[in-house]
Amino acid sequence: IVWATRKFRCYLDRNEFDLYTDHKALTWVFSEGNRTRNAKLAHWAMELSQLRFKVYHKP
């Protein structure tokens, strides 16, 4: 997800988009009130928080 948002940032910057994932744990990472102690996850979450998107779990 981080790689794709970096690659297509010019298209995603000004638009709200939907993010569908089959990885249930990722929905927790992007939820409000998430307090992770993992530095890498925190860095990615901070980077992605600059974009406007909604995360959906698709089993």
What pLDDT, in 10s, does the model give residues 2-46?
A: 999 999 999 999 899 998 988 877 777 766 667 777 788 888 888
Q: What is the 3-state secondary structure (H, E, C) of the chain?
A: CHHHHHHCHHHHCCCCEEEEECCHHHHHHCCCCCCCCCHHHHHHHHHHCCCCEEEEECC
Residue 3: per-residue pLDDT: 94
For residue 49, give Cα distances in angstroms to 9, 16, 32, 44, 59.
13, 12, 10, 8, 24
| pLDDT surpassing 70 at residue 58 | yes
Model pTM score: 0.69
Residue 25: per-residue pLDDT: 73
Nearest to 19 by CA among 54, 59, 58: 54
